[in-house]
Amino acid sequence: MTPLLSAPMACTHRGFRQPVWWGLTGLMALLTSLAVHAVEVETARLDTVWQFPQRTAPAQVVARNESRLSAEVSGTVLHWTADVGASVRRGDVLVQMDPQDYELAVQRADAALVAAEARLQLSRVQLERAQALVNQGFFSQEALTQRETEVTLLQAEVRAALLQRDTARRQLARTTVRAPFSGTVTQRTVQLGEAVSPGTALLTLAETQASEVQASLPPVEINGLRQANAITFQLTGQSDNWSLKLLRVNAAVEPGSRTQRVRLGWTTDTPLPPGSSGVLTWSEPTPHIPTSLIVRRGSALGVFLNEGGTARFTPLPDAQEGRATRTTLPGDSLIVIRGQAALNDGQRID
């Protein structure tokens, strides 16, 4: 009886017989050849290809203080001394309200104070006489205590009259609205002869000598702005640049735009007036890997480095699609700059 496998099985393809084991051996040899064959790529030192990106953002010049000045007392507007567009200095009169009622209140308070002081003076004289009579035995101790109490009460009355007079004077002073800072009147909301009450908006004053630059940036760009060596502002349609410094960063992220507001100040003594708009420009001081060198492997974005002839995928935790990414890798690292799209981690490379 012939053995079941007395010879290699053969197959026929278009009349040509070939052992099956020969095909398997050839396939294994091919796979082995592919595994040991080094992929040709191009590498370079990282510090020769990294970038220091320049960032830009729209920005506006805003007043550091823009106040809506309101009436603090009731009255009638008598006249204005500064209309819309007028430049004023701190302490200048802006609005004068009718002060007559408040002048009368001051006079009444002054009269009440004079009367209280007179009563106090008389009570002190009576107390001195009572003390002398007590020493002579002609006045009782109880009556002396009553005189002392009267003096104490009248002293409190005088203090109350003083406070009433000061209050009346403050109310009178509030009929004159003065500029709390130097600036420009940007809006007037009441007219001459109009009766106003406490809280009625009179005008809007914008500070001109202390303007700042405001911009809204994505949170990912905030650190770069903090570390920037130079920040400039260029007015729309002009070529002149103004040097700026970072003042404040709003920690809250705007819900709609998902940005953070930043405020910057001038490094010169000649700030631009509020209302101007332009472009904020700064350069990142930290080196960045160009987006063309970044590839995705699985869920991670990163780059391939040449480590002794082996491709090593190095993830970049902060990487984003389509953006150059900040890096802390050494500048002498050999990064794959051509052929990285087809590489796998651990693959041999030339």
Backbone angles phi, psi at 230, to 5 degrees: -145, 130
Number of domains in the chain: 3
Hunting for tokens 């008598």 — which residue is that? 78
- Residue 297: inside a domain, yes or no? yes
Based on the fold, state whether residues 197 and 329 are members of the same structural domain: no
Asked if residues 232 and 243 have their Cβ atoms less than 8 Å apart, the reply is yes
Based on the fold, state whether residues 106 and 133 are members of the same structural domain: yes
Please give the residue range of the domain that contains residue 162.
Answer: 100-173
- Residue 329: inside a domain, yes or no? yes
Based on the fold, state whether residues 82 and 105 are members of the same structural domain: no
Based on the fold, state whether residues 104 and 92 are members of the same structural domain: no
Based on the fold, state whether residues 76 and 114 are members of the same structural domain: no
- Residue 79: inside a domain, yes or no? yes
- Residue 151: inside a domain, yes or no? yes
Based on the fold, state whether residues 120 and 93 are members of the same structural domain: no
Asked if residues 320 and 308 have their Cβ atoms less than 8 Å apart, the reply is no
What are 138-156's pLDDT values in tens digits?
777 777 788 888 889 999 9
Based on the fold, state whether residues 311 and 331 are members of the same structural domain: yes
Q: Which residues pair with 45 in a beta bridge?
A: 334
Q: Give the 3-state secondary structure of residue 169.
A: helix
pLDDT of residue 286: 85
Based on the fold, state whether residues 180 and 145 are members of the same structural domain: no
Based on the fold, state whether residues 194 and 72 are members of the same structural domain: yes
- Residue 217: inside a domain, yes or no? no
What are 181-234's pLDDT values in tens digits?
998 999 999 999 999 999 999 999 998 877 899 999 999 889 889 989 899 999
Q: Which residues pair with 204 in a beta bridge?
A: 68, 187
pLDDT of residue 31: 45
Q: What mean pLDDT value characterizes the chain? A: 85
Domain boundary residue, one of 151, 184, 207: 207
Based on the fold, state whether residues 105 and 167 are members of the same structural domain: yes
pLDDT higher for 274 or 231? Answer: 231
CATH code: domain of residue 134: 1.10.287
Q: What is the mean pLDDT of residues 60-84?
A: 92
Whether pTM > 0.75 for this model: the answer is no
Calpha distance 173→219 (Å, rounded): 48
Based on the fold, state whether residues 74 and 168 are members of the same structural domain: no
Domain boundary residue, one of 154, 187, 207: 207
DSSP 249-271: E-SSPPTTT--EEEEEEESSS-P
- Residue 294: inside a domain, yes or no? yes
Based on the fold, state whether residues 135 and 169 are members of the same structural domain: yes
